[in-house]
Structure 1
């Protein structure tokens, strides 16, 4: 292929070989071998301080655990249940990454096989998914499908793979960090009203869109939060309160969205017995902040006032308890430039801390999972025993390669998600075509 491209595509293009249709009998394609217990941490590897116990942070800890890379995972929450119930995620290409973390079955995951787009009157203007293309209503196959799962359910599955709650240092809020006088990084945490010190060879910020690590590393004025011109209202509704509807859209395997060129609602399985809905529409940043601050009751009233559309949408909105409703203005940041990290030494970022994006392609969790595996692999390869990484420096040994891959991969998702924030709230989305829209695949708050 390289020779063909160098010849400016003269002659016949080579045909790429087909992938092996059989999984490795030893690892089933995950790259991991089963063991009674994880390998012991090898002190020849750098010790990693992971800041943030969300999806990306726990995933990185798992990937380090499997490779014998020593780590300490810090989370400012007091315990696992400190966060709200959370919202739904859609695992797309990251389904393979989950297997690469040793998780082959997500028991709480729901597979969708049908996707529909409606007008407010209920006319179907687009349909895709395996049930259409394969004329099959099989719900059990995960091949070429999306897996929908509650954020906390995925987080719990990751935590169980990691070994449980004791693997996280809860209640540790990062105050600051600095490179040590000799080597490594010195960190200060606020713990139970006191300052607690720690040391590490590498600090990884996995602490979300308002990352403390990012703020301390490059400042808030560099690539500040960027408002994308719309607000999102989210809710979770149990199917038990909708039983009288008997709607085919509520079969726990259908994702549907409805739009009018301004407002747009997206409804997907949240679990086998509930759905999650996301309503979005343009609004000034000031108005969005004000509405969000008013709380669940005002958000529900706004949603019901705006969306008097086809069944079962009004019933879903009116039946959702206020405790399961929230809303927030949508932000991202300009793409992080590699030069901003070149002088960061033994500190890097993953997930929303590195590349926050709008929720309209459902890529936040997917990219965080891919980041975690990519970073662990780079550390394992570049800082293995006898690599002399302490003399070379961890940035040159592992971070340069990782950051280059991460930023290039995620840049497309950030741009597409920002574009979708605009296009999904225009009449373009009403174009009749059986092709996927850049739909809201779910994203944690």
Structure 2
């Protein structure tokens, strides 16, 4: 029985790290004999010349998906491994959003002791109702023991319109299947409510009680360990940890305490985003082929741009964005949901079904905010802390226009847990060498390199999606035309 079959039969399935690949999901393929012999010949010659010149580089086998766990890094188990406090550091995770909960799950599977702290008093304390699109992470979620998302919706068609309804671009599985293209991309985008994904991850932990709700971080001091100060029910509590991970969002307290707000302040990207969720049932029988729960469509005029995607099987989420001075964007957002909806409706008297969707959206399901990111972090800034690191929006916040925020947070969480498992092979080792040398430097180097292109691409999208580039005629995502122009 494979992992997917086990998972579909019981939500209580436990997982443990695959011993064949040590939880990494990939294994090195055996070197070909010719390559191995060539290296040995070069090494022998190097030694004969008494180590003159550059030493030959030992070849590495190509990585391939681990057949034992089908690439997830996990195997089904009767129970989760016991936290190994002798081998691993005690990890304090600050922030119970997607990245923080994902890291907790990945630690659970590896027997890494952790505590998850969240300032909110409960799961639904704040409105977090927007949807997200799993791209690279649609495969990575298997690394958290999630092999199916019941509330996820797969899109098979993406359409770009002018405001009059003319189609200027179309792609996706349905388009490719109708064309003469010999092969179509394998990647599948899964659309899911953020809270649905967050709930699925929390279920992997065993429920909401695992989260330390109502813990607001107010202080952090590094010494032999890290002393954390939390405000809990109006009282100050001190807690110690070996490693602290800030997963607390774009306005991260951990980042502010360790790096400082003035070092990499919020950077306004010149536009505001207004979002809403509309149940299809509220459209009073209005029918349109774009509302088939499998189509993503966007409409633009070179200034305003609306993006509408399935939120779940019975509703859609829309995101309207347009350039606006920062002071005006803050003022509009502060006026509340009624003003945001009115502004969105006023700007989108376009082709069907856009006016109908926005009119039917309840004001309580509308939100809006000025769009920010931050300047890219450098290794030097992170290396100021010996026992503290950042993941997700705390490390690399980005605009929502490439749909990469949650994807990168999930990849960060899995990468960090795998690096802790790899780098902390004994307590004496990481205690002596330090958690930064044993784990953080290598993890952060990979994270910063991987996420940098996403941050930059998301910032570029905030500009080109509100320009005439978005209206060029071509059956491909809008950013590809820009890349061709730059190359």
Q: Partners of 2:62 and 2:84 in 1: how far apart? A: 38
1:108 paired residue among 145, 151, 158: 151
Contiguous gaps of at least 5 residues in structure 2: 1-34, 36-60, 481-487
Q: Partners of 2:119 and 2:185 in 1: how far apart? A: 35
User: 2:111 aligned with 1:64, yes or no?
Assistant: no
| Equivalent pairs, count | 416
Q: Partners of 1:383 and 1:308 in 2: how far apart? A: 58
Q: What residue is the counterpart of 1:256 in the other structure?
A: 297
Are the aligned partners of 1:77 and 1:171 in contact in 2 as well (CA < 8 Å)? yes
Q: What residue is the counterpart of 1:281 in the other structure?
A: 322
1:418 paired residue among 459, 475, 487: 459
Q: What residue is the counterpart of 2:342 in the other structure?
A: 301
Q: Partners of 1:203 and 1:45 in 2: how far apart? A: 13
Report the TM-score when normalising by structure 2. Answer: 0.83
Are the aligned partners of 1:118 and 1:258 in contact in 2 as well (CA < 8 Å)? yes
Contiguous gaps of at least 5 residues in structure 1: 4-15, 440-445
Q: Partners of 1:375 and 1:423 in 2: how far apart? A: 33
Runs (4+) of structure 1 exceeding 6 A deviation are 16-20
The 3-state SS of whatever aligns with 1:65 is: helix
User: 2:426 aligned with 1:403, yes or no?
Assistant: no
Q: What residue is the counterpart of 1:31 in the other structure?
A: 73
Q: What residue is the counterpart of 1:428 in the other structure?
A: 469
Pairing of 1:359-398 with structure 2 (within 5 A): 359-385=400-426, 388-398=429-439
Q: What residue is the counterpart of 1:328 in the other structure?
A: 369
Are the aligned partners of 1:291 and 1:299 in contact in 2 as well (CA < 8 Å)? yes
Q: Partners of 1:318 and 1:96 in 2: how far apart? A: 36
Are the aligned partners of 2:277 and 2:315 in contact in 1 as well (CA < 8 Å)? yes
Q: Partners of 1:337 and 1:399 in 2: how far apart? A: 13
CA shift for structure 1 position 19: 6.4
Q: Partners of 2:363 and 2:322 in 1: how far apart? A: 20
User: 2:221 aligned with 1:178, yes or no?
Assistant: yes
2:255 paired residue among 185, 191, 214: 214
Pairing of 1:155-170 with structure 2 (within 5 A): 155-170=198-213
CA shift for structure 1 position 243: 5.0
Q: What residue is the counterpart of 1:144 in the other structure?
A: 187
Q: What residue is the counterpart of 2:387 in the other structure?
A: 346
Pairing of 1:83-122 with structure 2 (within 5 A): 83-122=126-165
1:50 and 1:386, CA in 2 relative to 1: closer, same or farther beyond 3 A? closer
1:45 and 1:247, CA in 2 relative to 1: closer, same or farther beyond 3 A? same
1:425 and 1:399, CA in 2 relative to 1: closer, same or farther beyond 3 A? same
Q: Partners of 1:217 and 1:287 in 2: how far apart? A: 31
Deviation string 1:154-191 (CA, Å, 9 cap, x unpaired) is 000000011111111110000101113xx210111000
1:47 paired residue among 90, 94, 99: 90
Q: Partners of 1:314 and 1:34 in 2: how far apart? A: 48
Q: What residue is the counterpart of 1:9 in the other structure?
A: none
Q: CA RMSD in A?
A: 1.9
